[in-house]
Structure 1
Amino acid sequence: MDSLSNELVQSSHSNSEEFILYNPYAEDLIFMGILSNHKLLHHVFSEVDEKLFYLKSNQIIFQNMRDLYMEGNIPTTISLIYKLEKHQLLNSIGGKERILHLSKLSFPLTIEEIHGYITLLKDKQIKRKLFNLSLDLYQLAYNYDTFRDINFEQLEIQLGQIIKAQSVSTILVARDLIQPALDQMRRSDENLDTSSKISTGFASIDFYLNGLERGNLVIVAGRPSMGKTALALSLIMNVCQQIPKACILLFSLEMSSTQIIHRLMSIESNLPLEKLKQSKLYNLKAGDLKTYFPNIYESNIYINDNNLIQLNEIQLVIKKIYNKHKKVDLVIIDYLQLLGNSTNNRALEIGQITRQLKGIARKFNVPIIALSQLNRNVEQRSNKKPLLADLRESGCLTIHTDISLQTLSCITEIKQLVPFRFVSIAGINTANHSFQSVLIYQGKFHGIKHVYQIQLKNHLSIKLTANHKILTRCGWKRIDYLNKCDIIATLSQNYTTLNWVMVNCVNYLGKLLTSDLQVPPFANFCANYIVTHNSIEQDADSVLFLYRPSYYSSEKEDHQIAEIIIAKNRNGQTGNVLLKFIPQVAKFQ
């Protein structure tokens, strides 16, 4: 909250103990519960973050309590004072007398009681957000701008965040879900419920995917010029043919709306674009044009060609169309890598984007197809068919790589950690280059891959794939982009700071067994005392690769053959499908 809102908050209850926008007593009671009943720790730290606390001093206290818990220590009066003193934070929270005061007042609280105080703090946080929003509305109302200059979308985003903050996810017992699931199966068998799945128009793809499931995220990936957009536009026309007045949104971050409509017209009329221009259809009336493009006219196809659009804006557009038609049948995004801000931590950002897209698909009960560009690894192999590893923006480490555990003085091989989740290991907060304890979300073995060894001037070394990233002075860098001038982040001898060491050499080793870890929130960990990036697993329900042999060789007999490789499928089996590509009208059939 800004200074104006702080003044208003203080003045609103300066003579009253009834705190409307925050409750210092509830904040203190949560601290007392943490210090007095260690059985509450897991519940509190899984439900609460520092943003729930209004007072800055209390935010600092909670952050340090949580850090102690993440480090495997129980927060006590002594350990908390020591930690705050170590980081020179005691004065900012009112001195050690503040912590001693909390410990003197501490008394055992039950989970039910602590949950009540957490709920109270969440209520206060929502009210503070509403209060801040009301100030924004007040300032907008009392200025000289016209209403057309007001960013209503930003206001809607703020309100949406408040609504999301007060929502509670439902936890259901598995046995209670059996009967509804069987009822849905019965309706599907009786053809009384056909709206849950949408046919792609390609029978062989539907055989594997069982149609496009509402609420699912599907990634269609391929190298540039492979035909991803053509496949997406072919899917649009197929859906329009099967669903009366189909409602489809296409977010085109690369091509203009004019280019898109030209290609849709060509696909529906089955006429090359040049012939369409020669036919002079522009002389016909709108009513006559419907006979040439019936599906385009009868359907509701929306095209957004804003190449700077962000995820929150995509969600607002979908909501607007959903409110208008009471449904959305299909959303296509062309393409994934053009979303976001192209940050240094691009792998983490792509992972976050796919996770949010999955959330949007579920929220609006619509299948979302995101087109994705594959990295250059495909071009470096004799077999050019894409693999799931080509989709990820980070690589793998050899299975014998040493990982620094939470204590930093203890290490273990990565292959020992892959089967386990929520093991504490050492990570780096790249914002301030400090070491912090992080938890493994998941580990995976990735099979045999081409591996390189990096040797540093201080004799440290690490073996990893070419597309894996390590931390350099210039940010995260892939191994295949390293040179001898690069300086790499490594653990110092006292395990508290980073040392920056120059690269000595990079050598190819051959094919070795590899694995990797996914470690939020910093998406990195210390391997062989070198700071490396982690693996990002896409949140897609299905991953399809587009592969055309003629793209790589003009000697192939049939230039119209295209292969769809279904590499990931949560709804069924994986496999390969052959389609026919018609280059004259840029469509698949």
Structure 2
Amino acid sequence: MADAARKYEEEAALYREAPNNIEAEQALLGAILVNNDAYYLVHDFLKGDHFFEPLHREIFSKTSEMIRMGKVATPVTIKTFLNATDRVGDITVAQYLGRLAAAATTIINTADYGRAIYDLALRRSLIRIGEDMVNIAFDAPLDMEPKSQIEDAERRLFELAETGRYDGGFQSFQDALSLAIEMAGAAKDRDGGLSGVSSGIMGIDRQMGGLQPSDLIILAGRPAMGKTSLATNIAFNIAAAYEPADQSDGTFKAKNGGVVAFFSLEMSAEQLATRIISEQSEVSSSKIRRGNINDTEFAKLVACTEMMQRVPLYIDQTGGISIAQLAARARRLKRQRGLDVMVIDYVQLMQGSSKASAQNRVQEITEITTGLKALAKELNVPIIALSQLSRQVEARDDKRPQLADLRESGSIEQDADVVMFVYRDEYYLKGKEPKPGTDDHLKWEAEMNEARGKAEVIVAKQRHGPTGTIRLAFQAEYTRFTDLADDAYLPERFD
């Protein structure tokens, strides 16, 4: 008897209908056809694809299109845009539209109907993802690792949670225009009038308009130029300026600053924190490491640390992380804490996810940079990825980097929206000191005084703006980059 009951339940499960509520769909459509204002109660979250019945999808899509164009949508005006030969049971589509409107009595419950339809659509999407997981797990090829399936499922679930859909597809130009206007309005209201996230360094913000969402920004340079220092400065500036703003759905969005994820593949979290503490407290990082600090300096460190504990800066110190692992952790952080900017230090220490790319370094870097650009678009956040330069820079008289100096430059240069180089003339001049007392030494001394404490950030590529050189001040003892004071604003000097 028990076996028969179990067999009946298994057979019933095979024929279960996907969750839906046709009556709620009919009530919502009827309310909109009677009073077009009802559409504006659900238009910000409900799309035609969320309806279970195909005819209802078409009716909602045509109706919403007409209302957005400023026209009146009624059973009479909408029927000409639907297939007149289609039938719903024993009646025509035109008659069905009339019945929907006749059955509607009020728009009071429109938002509730819309939310019920939306939630059921999400449940159907969850069922599809679950079915795909089961089918792939049963029929997975030998070269497909289980962790890659987990990462794919996590990606689809994240996209479903963030946007209500995971299948991508076309977006209307009207929706794109609305997003562009929203961005312009946000830039107008944001401190500094930037369309992107402020880096905290005015020179960079002026050149780039802030760090733009979905951009892959490559920050490159030779060792000892200060790549990590600049990236750390920017990351902390953004996190320290974080100012959340309430959204209508109860979530938070950054009005200024943002939540930052820092993937440190080279340094430990403790080393990174030491750099930031040194920068903020103005106590030399070398003195902190050696313990060569007095009571006053230690008190400054403690006070600075207490202030910094509230900063939304999250550090992942996993060495040799793969692009798939990085993407999974970034999605998780965005879902749990929010995410506005990502920093990766640095690209050449990452690993690809496929076995084929692991055998060819150029292919592996291509997979990584392509994956980072895709992740920036998916999460809609700027990603700052640090990169090493090849040694050919050292062979030239002019040591300023060029795009061709990027290691595996083909994919890095192609996938990046912005490529910036960090260059400090002071570093190279130090190694060229002539014999003291000579004319060459006097000339060298003058050049050294001019270059001391200064750095250049060379914007060699920018898809949405001009290229050029940004001059910054660099305090090596604190590993800190700041804006360079303009001579026009300095007090008058006399010889």
TM bucket normalised to smaller = 0.5 to 0.7
- 2:264 is equivalent to residue 388 of structure 1: no
Q: Could you say which residue in structure 1 is the equivalent of 2:276?
A: 264
Verify: 1:581 aligned to 2:474, yes or no.
yes
Which amino acid in structure 2 is aligned with residue 552 of structure 1? Answer: Y
Distance 1:193 1:323, change over 3 A: farther
What amino acid is aligned across from residue 298 of structure 1 in structure 2? Answer: R
Change (3 A) 1:161 1:584: closer
Per-residue deviation at 1:263? Answer: 1.0
1:561/1:236 CA distance change after superposition, 3 Å: same
CA–CA distance in 2 between the matches of 1:535 and 1:353? 9
CA distance in structure 1 between the aligned counterparts of 2:308 and 2:146, rounded to whole angstroms: 31
Give, in whole Å, the separation in 1 of the partners of 2:149 and 2:340: 27
Q: CA deviation at 1:152?
A: 9.9
The residue that corresponds to 1:515 in the other structure is none
Alignment correspondent of 1:291: 303
Offset from partner CA, 1:78-113 (integer Å, 9 cap, x none): xxxxxxxxxxxxxxxxxxxxxxxxxxxxxxxxxxxx
Q: Report the RMSD for the aligned CA atoms in angstroms.
A: 3.7
User: What pairs up with 1:174-573 in 2 under 5 angstroms?
Assistant: 174=173, 177-191=176-190, 197-244=196-243, 246-276=258-288, 277-279=291-293, 291-325=303-337, 327-340=338-351, 343-391=358-406, 393=408, 537-554=413-430, 555=444, 556-557=448-449, 558-573=451-466
How many Å separate the matches in 2 of 1:585 and 1:289?
Answer: 13
Q: 1:290 & 1:539 partners in 2: Cα distance?
A: 42
Q: Report the Cα distance in structure 1 between the residues aligned to 2:236 and 2:319, rounded to whole angstroms.
A: 23
Task: State the TM-score, normalized to the length of structure 1.
Answer: 0.47
Indicate how the Cα distance of structure 1 residues 320 and 235 shifts in structure 2: closer, same or farther if over 3 A, else same.
same
**Superimposed CA distance per residue, residues 16-43 of structure 1 (whole angstroms, 9 cap, x where no aligned partner):** xx9xxxxxxxxxxxxxxxxxxxxxxxxx
Task: Measure the CA separation in 2 of the matches of 1:354 and 1:302.
Answer: 22
Contact 1:240-1:296 at 8 Å conserved across structures: no
**C-alpha displacement at 1:125, in angstroms?**
11
Distance 1:253 1:541, change over 3 A: same
Change (3 A) 1:196 1:152: farther
Change in Cα spacing, 1:152 to 1:291, as seen in structure 2 (3 Å) is: farther
User: Could you list the per-position Cα deviations for residues 40-82 of structure 1 after superposition, in whole angstroms to 9, with x for gaps in the alignment?
Assistant: xxxxxxxxxxxxxxxxxxxxxxxxxxxxxxxxxxxxxxxxxxx
Closer/same/farther in 2, CA of residues 125 and 289 from structure 1, 3 Å limit: closer
Distance across 1 between alignment mates of 2:412 and 2:230: 26
**Which whole-Å CA distance do the structure 1 matches of 2:412 and 2:376 have between them?**
20
Counterpart AA for 1:310: S
SS at 1:225 equivalent: coil
Residue 218 of structure 1 aligns with an amino acid whose one-letter code is: I
Residues 363 and 294 of structure 1: CA distance in aligned 2, closer, same or farther (over 3 Å): farther
Q: Give distance in 2, aligned partners of 1:317 and 1:187.
A: 28
1:355–1:538 Cα contact (<8 Å) kept: no
Q: Which runs of 5+ in 1 are unaligned?
A: 1-11, 19-122, 137-150, 395-533
Partner Cα distance (1:535, 1:320) in 2: 27
What is the TM-score with the length of structure 2 in the denominator? Answer: 0.56
CA contact (8 A) 1:221 1:391 kept: yes
Q: Distance in 2 between matches of 1:301 and 1:134?
A: 40
Gaps of 5+ in 2: 1-9, 16-126, 245-257, 431-443, 483-495
Counterparts of 1:153 and 1:282 in 2: how far apart (Å)? 51
Cα drift, residue 180 of structure 1: 4.2
User: For 1:315 and 1:535, how far apart are their aligned partners in 2?
Assistant: 19
Cα deviation, residue 232, structure 1: 1.0
Q: How is 1:142-157 mapped onto 2 (pairs within 5 angstroms)?
A: 156-157=150-151
What is the CA distance between 1:195 and its match in structure 2? Answer: 9.2
2:478 aligned counterpart, secondary structure: coil
Q: Distance in 1 between matches of 2:212 and 2:206?
A: 13
**Structure 1 counterpart of 2:477, which letter?**
Q
Paired residues of 1:563 and 1:579 also in contact (CA < 8 A): yes
Kindly indicate whether the alpha-carbon contact (under 8 Å) linking 2:183 and 2:195 is maintained by their aligned counterparts in 1: no
Pick from 131, 134, 144 the counterpart of residue 135 of structure 2: 131
Cα shift readout 1:227-249 (whole Å, capped 9, x = no counterpart): 11111111122213322484221
Partners of 2:242 and 2:312 within 8 A in 1? no
**Cα 1:267/1:134, change in 2 over 3 Å:** farther
Once residues 211 and 330 of structure 2 are traced to their aligned partners in structure 1, the CA distance between those partners, rounded to angstroms, is 18
Is the 2:218–2:419 contact (alpha carbons within 8 Å) kept by the matching residues of 1? yes
Letter in structure 2 aligned against 1:540: A
Alignment of 1:110-121 (within 5 A): none
Q: Secondary structure at the match of 1:293?
A: helix
Task: Tell whether the 8 Å contact from 1:198 to 1:213 is kept in structure 2 after alignment.
Answer: yes
Identical positions, percent:
32
Alignment-mate amino acid for residue 188 of structure 2: D
Cα distance change of structure 1 residues 219 and 278 upon mapping to structure 2, 3 Å threshold: same
Query: Could you tell me how far apart the structure 1 residues matched to 2:129 and 2:305 are?
Result: 53
Cα drift, residue 157 of structure 1? 1.2
Distance (Å, rounded) in 2 between the aligned partners of 1:126 and 1:545: 45
Code of the aligned partner of 2:397: S
- 1:177/1:248 CA distance change after superposition, 3 Å: closer
Q: Distance in 2 between matches of 1:380 and 1:538?
A: 25
Q: When the two structures are aligned, how many residues end up with a matched partner?
A: 314
